[in-house]
Amino acid sequence: MIERALEQAKGRAQEIEIAVRESRSSGAEYEDDKLKRVDASQTTAVSVRVIVDGKVGQSRGTDPQEIDAVVDRAIALAEFGSESKFSFPGPSAAPEVKTYDPEIALITREEMVAVGAEALELLKAYNPEIKVSADAGWAISTRRLVNSQGLDIATEESSYGGSAGGVLVRGTDILWVGRYRNWRKKDVNARTLAEQSIEYFRYAERMAPVATKQMPVIFTPRGIRVLLLPLLMGVNGKNVLKGDSPLAGKLGQRIFSPAFSLTDDGTVDYALDSARYDGEGVPRRRNEVVKGGVLTCFLYDLDTAAKAGVESTGNGVGCGASNVLVTPGESSFAEMVRNTDEGIIVENVLGLGQGNIINGDFSVNLALAYKIEKGEIVGRVKDVMLAGNAYDAINHIRAIGSECEWSGSTYAPFLQVEALSVVGKG
């Protein structure tokens, strides 16, 4: 089918790329202490890009029987498409990257139901007032990517994820705590997820007032996205090329604390954003983005790289990061807390991505955060805003943790910055 479509496009398009992805998934979900639903899905996605007279057209569909129609639409669009300076890649060698675990295909629905049941029991044992949510689910997909330059890649990917948490209502105070794990290898442990949630419920047993002032802030391996989101937008090659990124022109400059290093790595075995090849057939690789505080590279796909006069870094399509790894430091989380006279721990925020995020500015509501007083976690802070600039904050690091954790496709330590504005009513 794909071969025929490729053949038929010859003469009408100089270059063509066809990708077909077939996906299956299933999961079981607990909500408000009850098993609520079991689901299953089987879907197909067809996407086509063509280059006609130096212009790109792209189209998508859901029916592999109708590839020809998708190709026709892409060719029709190319007349009005964006100018291209790139060619689709031919075959090339790529590192071995593990993305598929055959165990995942064997997971039964009963087994996924049991994950939720175990999490429910553990969270209820800690506090029966918590209304528990938990789920488990697997996904398997195959992708075939073929282009007119002779590339023909078939890949198989799996993932298995789970979450455990819940809602605790006290008066009109509503506390939501949850943890999740999603990995390409079967590695979900209901007990671990439940215990991690319980730890954060425990810290929140008391409320702590906060006055409006500057104080040091510890970002957890999940809360750190407040700082990483602007940075990842800033190193996106397309934002650099378009002049949107404040990092444009700063390659080779020291812009952060020397303790800070960040790598984009699409080759970590079983990590969620790992693959042998990116979405357009360029080998995924390891890109050192910030090394010892120095900005060392931007991330590119084929189209943007060609326009910027550089090589693709294997971040196609779109120049977005794959797995993001922040290099750990020396301090344990316990030490960081102990060494803080007054400060905040940020696990989750509301309102990230609003406003002038690419500038690095953030002003977020602390959805789940804790107060440190005299080296101890004293309780949860609420109705408090945290404001600052991510670039500024990463340039004023107080401590970097030695313990890293995966959250989605980000692998990060606890990170403490010197001082940020905390706006509270206390």
> 57-96: which residues touch other proteins (CB under 8 A)?
57-63, 66, 69-70, 73-74, 76-77, 79-83
Q: How far apart are CA 70 and CA 419, in angstroms?
A: 53
Q: Where are the alpha helices (DSSP H) in 214-260?
A: 225-234, 237-241
**Could you tell me the two tokens for 283?**
């080998």
What is the DSSP secondary-structure string of 139-197?
EEEEEEEEETTS-EEEEEEEEEEEEEEEEEEETTEEEEEEEEEEESSS---HHHHHHHH
Instruction: Decide if 147 contacts 165 (C-beta within 8 A).
Output: no
Q: Which is nearer to other proteins, 131 or 285 (CB)?
A: 131
Q: Which of 153, 308, 358, 378 touches other proteins by CB under 8 A?
A: 358
Before 317, cis peptide (omega within 30)? yes
Question: What's the sign of the alpha-carbon dihedral 186, 192, 198, 200?
Answer: negative
Report how many helices (DSSP H) and strands (DSSP E) the chain contains, helices first.
9, 18
Interacting stretch for other proteins, rule CB under 8 A, among 182-190, 332-340, 403-411, 418-426?
418-426
State which of positions 188-227 bind other proteins (CB under 8 A). 212, 214
Q: Which is nearer to other proteins, 244 or 288 (CB)?
A: 244
CB 239 to other proteins: min, Å: 9
Q: Amino acid identity, residue 39?
A: D
CB 19 to other proteins: min, Å: 13
CB 286 to other proteins: min, Å: 28
**Could you tell me the two tokens for 233?**
């937008």
CB 284 to other proteins: min, Å: 23
CB 368 to other proteins: min, Å: 9
Q: Exposure pattern of 314-348 as b/e (b: 16+ CB <10 Å)? A: bbbbebbbbbbbbbbbebebeebbeebebbbbbbb
Q: Which is nearer to other proteins, 6 or 50 (CB)?
A: 50
Q: Which is nearer to other proteins, 294 or 357 (CB)?
A: 357
Q: Which is nearer to other proteins, 53 or 152 (CB)?
A: 53
CB 169 to other proteins: min, Å: 4
State which of positions 99-138 bind other proteins (CB under 8 A). 109-110, 113, 129, 131
How many residues sit in the footprint of other proteins (CB under 8 A)? Answer: 78
The answer to whether 240 contacts other proteins (rule: CB under 8 A) is no
Instruction: Decide if 30 contacts 134 (C-beta within 8 A).
Output: yes
Q: Which of 3, 121, 311, 383 touches other proteins by CB under 8 A?
A: 383
State which of positions 38-57 bind other proteins (CB under 8 A). 38-44, 56-57
Nearest to 378 by CA among 349, 413, 343: 343
Residues 6+ apart with CB under 8 A from 239: 233, 245, 319, 358
First CA to last CA distance, the chain: 66
Q: Which is nearer to other proteins, 105 or 169 (CB)?
A: 169
Q: Which is nearer to other proteins, 5 or 400 (CB)?
A: 5
Nearest to 133 by CA among 27, 30, 28: 30
| DSSP classification of residue 89 | -
The answer to whether 365 contacts other proteins (rule: CB under 8 A) is yes
State which of positions 384-413 bind other proteins (CB under 8 A). 384-388
Interacting stretch for other proteins, rule CB under 8 A, among 85-93, 201-209, 284-292, 347-355?
347-355
CB 60 to other proteins: min, Å: 4
CB 277 to other proteins: min, Å: 21
CB 143 to other proteins: min, Å: 16
The answer to whether 356 contacts other proteins (rule: CB under 8 A) is yes
Q: Which is nearer to other proteins, 47 or 257 (CB)?
A: 47
Interacting stretch for other proteins, rule CB under 8 A, among 178-186, 193-201, 329-337, 380-388?
380-388
State which of positions 148-187 bind other proteins (CB under 8 A). 167, 169-170, 172-174, 176
The answer to whether 309 contacts other proteins (rule: CB under 8 A) is no
Interacting stretch for other proteins, rule CB under 8 A, among 25-33, 99-107, 141-149, 406-414?
25-33
- 324: three-class secondary structure by DSSP: strand
Ramachandran assignment for 79, one of left (phi > 0), alpha (psi -120 to 50 degrees), beta (any other): alpha
Strands 152-170 and 131-147: antiparallel
